């Protein structure tokens, strides 16, 4: 069987990990899909994947097609492949490979059923691998398309083997590359792809050609955050669920419904629960009782190429300056527009903040000409000082004086307003952190903030886009509505003001409600929940150094 490996590259490839046969299937479907799954190790099991798994578990087959061996793992060092074939059978003295597909078959020009190219290369690969197991030639493969109830027969001849060799060569070439392949030209493939939310093909097409279909980025969160705030509570694992035990009460949360676990203050989590979260790429975040971000888990050691690209891009001073300009402009414009919106039609309040408004406008005019990040930090600081000076004037006359801030105090907050502000920022930090982790970027490597505290710089960078939208606006609105209890929601000491457990729960509910609200993204034109917009902005940031720049930080308050 030496002829089977003719045409393969030399000995060097044998030191590489074997290629999954399913990766060759992805290669023929879309080269970028192959790269995301096989090189960057990003895999998303959507409903189609789960349906395919269920099909393989439920197949019983007719009497004519009963398998002698079902779901057998096969590998070959000579081919450098590994995979699990659905089934094999010996027919008329020869071995035949069977592959099952839940969808429809391809139709030729004469209307006869044919195998899709990606299915064909997969079946041929399984056939040559089976040859090494049985030590006999495997000349035929069959693909069963259950939606059409038809079986397509394939001849595993020398032409098919040559096609497989070329596919393996291309797969190895892509695996050595540090750059993602371009978006596929076949737009019809993208809506059915499990990684379209990672690839964002329509956003790239819109940027390059000025036209594209409606974005296929999901509008709402698929899962929800699990906040544990009761002191002494414990998070444990029971099978595929997280169990929260607090005050002799046990609540169970299926892991597929959770996107992040946030532990506030003196809360414990078991090793088994951490393992379950890690296996599902669900970050666990620890916050102090006062809401300060302490630490958070990240994804495993994969995503190496993503990190390499991120490091390479953000080491360039011109890239950091360009992104910082865009970030600071977006933040200051949003703050300015919020103040102007709240004082529209109120000449008395507008007169009170006219000096602060003018200061923010002057800072905006200087941002485009800033030649260094230090200059931008100075302008951002001046605009922020003016903004926080104007913020108390946005609170209504009926708001108790105890809820109105006296300046900005952070660590520790010295009044109720600053206490609420800081706690909300900690919640926002966790939202941005988990979005960065979900995308696969390194939170510790940013472009605007310096690594001075426990807070990762990239998290602090991206928070600037959302501070006003996701927390300051809903907070001011809640205070004007009389949402907060001066005594029951706060714990007052001589030099500190903290939220009580009741206050923390109210703040968490306010943030989670805001994350579910929808907003029309200015670039895609799609109405998305704010939770999804945060993730989308992280993915658009990554596109700044993956061949499609100019999409990041376009959001503005209308």
| CATH label of the domain that carries residue 252 | 3.100.10.20
Q: Which of 296, 324, 353 is the last residue of a domain?
A: 296
Q: Are 155 and 245 members of one domain?
A: no
Query: Which residues on neighbouring strands pair with residue 89, listed in sequence order?
Result: 96
Structure-token pair, residue 272: 């088994």
Query: Which residues of the chain are under the pLDDT cut of 50?
Result: 1-7, 9-12, 45-67
Is 141:128 a contact under the CB 8 Å cutoff?
A: no
- Of 273, 296, 319, the residue that ends a domain is 296
In a domain, 500, yes or no: no
Coil vs helix vs strand at 321:
helix
Query: What pLDDT, on the 0 to 100 scale, is given for residue 63?
Result: 39
CA distances from 82 to 35, 49, 272 (A): 17, 19, 31
97: helix, strand or coil:
strand
Establish if 147 belongs to a structural domain: yes
Do 6 and 131 belong to one domain? yes
pTM here?
Answer: 0.79
Q: Are residues 250 and 123 in the same domain?
A: no
State the pLDDT at residue 60: 41
pLDDT of residue 219: 66
DSSP SS3 for 491: strand
Q: Are residues 6 and 152 in the same domain?
A: yes
DSSP state of 474: H
Pair 499, 488: CB distance under 8 Å:
no
Same domain, 244 and 160: no
216 in any annotated domain: no
Number of neighbours of residue 344 by Cβ within 10 angstroms: 10
Name, in order, each residue with C-beta under 8 angstroms of 188's C-beta and a sequence gap of 6 or more.
Answer: none
- 62 and 150 in a single domain? The answer is yes
Number of domains within the chain: 2
Residue 123 shares a structural domain with residue 233: no
Domain check: are 10 and 136 in the same one?
A: yes
Residue that is last in its domain, among 296, 314, 336: 296
Bridge partner residues of 238 (DSSP): 241
- Which pLDDT score is estimated for 3? 43
Q: Which residues in 323-461 belong to E strands, given as ranges?
A: none
In a domain, 110, yes or no: yes
| CA pair distance 330, 351, nearest whole angstrom | 25
The token duo for 502 is 């009741």
102 and 11 share one domain: yes
Angle between the 501-516 and 530-542 helix axes, to the nearest 10 degrees? 70
Residues 161, 13 within the same domain: yes
d(CA 319, CA 82): 41
Residue 302 pLDDT: 60
**Is the domain of 131 the same as that of 273?**
no
Q: Is residue 404 in some structural domain?
A: no
Pair (23, 131) in one structural domain? yes
Question: Any idea of the CA torsion for 179, 180, 186, 190, to the nearest 10 degrees?
Answer: -170
- Residue 396 belongs to some domain of the structure: no
Range of the domain at 279: 225-296
In a domain, 507, yes or no: no
Torsion of CA 207, 210, 216, 219, to 10 degrees: 80
Whether 97 is in a domain gets the answer: yes
């Amino acid at each position: 069987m030496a002829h089977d490996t003719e045409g393969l590259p030399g000995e060097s490839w044998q030191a590489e990990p074997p290629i999954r046969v399913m990766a060759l299937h992805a290669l023929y479907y879309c080269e970028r899909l192959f790269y995301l799954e096989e090189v960057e190790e990003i895999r998303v099991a959507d409903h189609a994947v789960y349906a395919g798994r269920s099909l393989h578990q439920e197949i019983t087959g007719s009497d004519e097609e009963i398998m002698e061996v079902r779901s057998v793992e096969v590998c070959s060092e000579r081919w450098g492949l590994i995979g699990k074939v659905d089934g094999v059978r010996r027919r008329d003295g020869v071995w035949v490979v069977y592959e099952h597909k839940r969808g429809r078959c391809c139709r030729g020009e004469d209307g006869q059923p044919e195998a899709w190219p990606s299915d064909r290369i997969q079946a041929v690969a399984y056939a040559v691998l089976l040859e090494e197991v049985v030590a006999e030639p495997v000349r035929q493969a069959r693909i069963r398309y259950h939606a059409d109830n038809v079986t397509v027969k394939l001849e595993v001849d020398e032409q098919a083997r040559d096609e497989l060799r070329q596919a393996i060569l291309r797969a190895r070439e892509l695996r050595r590359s540090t750059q993602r392949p371009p978006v596929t030209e076949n737009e019809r493939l993208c809506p059915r792809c499990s990684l379209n939310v990672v690839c964002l093909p329509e956003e790239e097409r819109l940027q390059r050609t000025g036209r594209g279909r409606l974005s296929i980025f999901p509008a709402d969160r698929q899962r929800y955050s699990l906040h544990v705030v009761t002191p002494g509570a414990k998070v444990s694992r029971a099978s595929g669920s997280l169990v929260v035990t607090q005050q002799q009460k046990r609540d169970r949360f299926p892991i597929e419904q959770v996107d992040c676990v946030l532990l506030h203050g003196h809360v414990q989590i078991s090793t088994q629960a951490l393992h379950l979260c890690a296996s599902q790429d669900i970050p666990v975040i620890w916050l102090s009782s006062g809401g300060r971000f302490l630490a958070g888990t990240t994804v495993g050691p994969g995503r190496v190429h993503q990190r390499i690209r991120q490091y390479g891009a953000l080491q360039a001073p011109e890239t950091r300056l360009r992104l910082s300009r865009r970030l600071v402009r977006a933040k200051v414009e949003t703050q300015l527009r919020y103040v102007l919106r709240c004082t529209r039609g109120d000449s008395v309040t507008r007169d009170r903040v006219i000096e602060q408004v003018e200061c923010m406008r002057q800072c905006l005019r200087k941002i485009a000409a800033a030649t260094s990040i230090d200059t931008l930090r100075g302008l951002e600081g001046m605009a922020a000082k003016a903004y926080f000076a104007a913020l108390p004037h946005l609170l209504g006359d009926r708001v108790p004086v105890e809820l109105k801030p006296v300046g900005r105090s952070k660590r520790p907050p010295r009044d109720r307003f600053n206490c609420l502000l800081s706690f909300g920022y900690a919640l926002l930090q966790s939202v941005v952190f988990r979005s960065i982790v979900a995308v696969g970027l390194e939170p510790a490597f940013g472009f605007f903030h310096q690594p001075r505290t426990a807070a990762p710089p990239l998290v602090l960078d991206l928070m600037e886009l959302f501070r006003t939208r996701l927390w300051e606006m809903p907070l001011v609105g809640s205070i004007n509505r009389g949402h907060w209890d001066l005594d029951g929601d706060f714990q007052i000491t001589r030099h500190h003001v903290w939220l009580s457990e009741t206050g923390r729960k109210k703040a968490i509910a306010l943030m989670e409600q805001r994350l579910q609200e929808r907003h029309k993204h200015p670039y895609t034109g799609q109405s998305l929940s704010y939770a999804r917009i945060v993730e989308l902005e992280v993915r658009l940031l990554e596109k700044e150094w993956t061949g499609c720049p100019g999409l990041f930080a376009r959001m503005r308050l209308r």
